[in-house]
Amino acid sequence: MTGTTKGAHGGAQRVADALMAQIESGALRPGDQIPTIAALAEKFAVNKNTASKAVVSLKASGILSGLAGGNTWVRVPPPYKRRSNERYHAEKAAVQLTETQRSNAGVSEVDSGIPLSALYEDKAEYAVIEAPDEVRDALQLPAGASVLRRVYTRRHAQKAGVDRSTSYIPYDLVSGSPDLLDSTKEPWPGGTMHQLYTIGVELGNIVDHVTSSMPTAEEVRDFDIPPSVPVLRIKKISYSINDQPVEMMDIPIPADRIELTYTTRLEPWT
């Protein structure tokens, strides 16, 4: 390593350490914009390339956020979630409660400890589309069948990454119920289980298929994660008590913010 290279590395570390010190002291808070590369270079008497390396290293560590060429800010920490498969028992138990009781029994809020009223963004987008191949297979639909696609986007704080999930329900199942096609009814007290209950569908089985892969460029941006953080992908398929698949849901969750707990109840021998 040449003296120039050593100097550049040391300069980048010095800039990174100084920014970390400001973050740890509270001088820079989550969501605060940091100085531009040019301003950092001038302040610390380094070249722009060295200042840029410092910023890139802090982005890779999940300390800073922002896309190359744009503004950079202190990353807003994502809420840590604990997701248990026993949540489905609680969700079904809430189906026959009153609307007020169902409004206070949301399992997704339990996962993160953040009530819906405290979210910075809570959005649902509905569309009727032709079922993609994977969805058609999972829901056992014929070629050309339509599904109601519902995309849920939540953000707990300004400048934070989003949580996003996508639900697919056979369109023929809900086409006769205008309320279930109306995104303005969201958030629906009791969620999907209660929506299906209103059209006479009782869920009897839910299967979560969990895989993982590296994030797409869109996910890096939207979830606000370093490119090195893998994404857990839950493909949730809900079945009626007649074993008919009635919903498929894609739930991608960055691995830096989730704990999955699966409880298996065993039948006694006697």
Assign residue 188 the CATH number of its domain.
3.40.1410.10
- Identify whether residues 190 and 172 lie together within a single domain: yes
DSSP category for residue 187? S
pLDDT tens digits for range 176-222: 999 999 999 999 999 999 999 999 999 999 999 999 999 999 999 99
Number of domains in the chain: 2
- Identify whether residues 87 and 69 lie together within a single domain: no
The backbone torsions φ and ψ at residue 263, rounded to the nearest 5 degrees and listed phi first, read -105, 130
| 124 has pLDDT over 70 | yes
- Identify whether residues 126 and 64 lie together within a single domain: no
Domain final residue pick, 26, 55, 74? 74
More confident of the two residues 108 and 137 = 137
Burial class (CB in 10 A: 0-12, 13-18, 19+), 184: exposed
Q: Which residues contact 61 (CB under 8 A, 6 or more apart)?
A: 226
Q: In the chain, what is the straight-line distance between the N-terminal and C-terminal CA atoms, in Å?
A: 71
More confident of the two residues 109 and 43 = 43
Q: What is the mean pLDDT of residues 45-72?
A: 93
- Identify whether residues 89 and 146 lie together within a single domain: yes
Give 152's pLDDT tier (boundaries 50, 70, 90).
very high
Q: Is residue 59 part of a domain?
A: yes
Q: What is the pLDDT of residue 110?
A: 74
Amino acid at site 2? T
Q: What is the mean pLDDT of residues 74-92?
A: 92
Q: Is 136 helix (H, G, I), strand (E, B) or coil?
A: helix
More confident of the two residues 109 and 6 = 109
Q: Radius of gyration over alpha carbons of the chain, in Å? A: 23
Look up the domain containing 70 and give its range: 3-74
**CA atoms of 78 and 117, how far apart (whole Å):** 17
Residues in the chain: 270
Q: What is the mean pLDDT of residues 92-101?
A: 88
More confident of the two residues 42 and 103 = 42
Residue 236: name the closest of 224, 221, 253 by CA.
253
- Identify whether residues 209 and 92 lie together within a single domain: yes
Q: What is the pLDDT of residue 270?
A: 80
Q: Is 158 helix (H, G, I), strand (E, B) or coil?
A: coil
Contact (Cβ atoms closer than 8 angstroms) between residue 144 and residue 177: no
Q: Is residue 230 part of a domain?
A: yes
Percent of the chain with pLDDT strictly greater than 70: 95
- Identify whether residues 123 and 256 lie together within a single domain: yes
- Identify whether residues 70 and 97 lie together within a single domain: no
Contact (Cβ atoms closer than 8 angstroms) between residue 55 and residue 37: yes
Domain final residue pick, 15, 49, 74? 74
Q: Where residue 33 sits, what CATH number does that domain have?
A: 1.10.10.10
Angle between helices 48-60 and 37-44 (to 10 degrees): 110
Q: Which residues contact 122 (CB under 8 A, 6 or more apart)?
A: 116, 153, 154, 187
Q: What is the pLDDT of residue 111?
A: 78
Q: Is residue 154 part of a domain?
A: yes
| 12 has pLDDT over 60 | yes
- Identify whether residues 88 and 51 lie together within a single domain: no
- Identify whether residues 95 and 159 lie together within a single domain: yes
Give 8's pLDDT tier (boundaries 50, 70, 90).
low
| 112 has pLDDT over 60 | yes
| 103 has pLDDT over 90 | no
Q: How far is CA 93 from the centre of its chain?
A: 25
Q: What is the mean pLDDT of residues 103-123?
A: 80
| 2 has pLDDT over 60 | no
- Identify whether residues 57 and 89 lie together within a single domain: no
Give 67's pLDDT tier (boundaries 50, 70, 90).
confident
Q: What is the pLDDT of residue 1?
A: 44
The mean of the pLDDT values for the chain is 92
Taking residue 23's Cβ as centre, other Cβ atoms within 10 Å add up to 19
Q: Which pTM does this prediction carry?
A: 0.90
